[in-house]
Copies of this chain bind each other. A is one copy, B any other.
């Protein structure tokens, strides 16, 4: 039966369920380039602090030069997560973030990549049809520096038993 499930081609069967994650799995997130215009457009709408809008803003240690809003990095990460595996899964949303760290600025032209590592898998106590996967997500730039990491539980449907 497991072989049959793995070989099945209907959408419902091939989507990644709770049972398809195991502690230690490292899921790659596809590269995404962040352009200057993207940084400014996001900041103009959501985070209009000077160092997200203008190269000539007064420098601070963290922000010398134009850099992306931390929430823009989160949004780009989310797209990488969707394209990496979430859209082909039974994801039912997330209750939140446990810890998130912005470690390095993201600059115009940076190429971000990432990984989602499974750190815990547990069935929901109150809802037998779902299970919770705790990830450590890490986003790196083109030189391999970590720009952001977070720990985050995500809910997935379990396979029918």
Contact = CB atoms under 8 A, between A and B. Distances in A.
Nearest to A79: B46
A62 interface: yes
Q: Is the interface of A mostly helix, strand, loop or mixed?
A: mixed
Q: How many copies does the complex hold?
A: 2
B87 A96 contact: no
A75 interface: yes
Interface stretch (A22-30, A63-71, A135-143): A63-71
A130 to B, nearest CB: 9
A47 interface: yes
Top-10 shortest CB links A-B = A96-B101, A46-B75, A97-B100, A96-B100, A62-B93, A60-B92, A47-B78, A46-B79, A71-B75, A71-B78
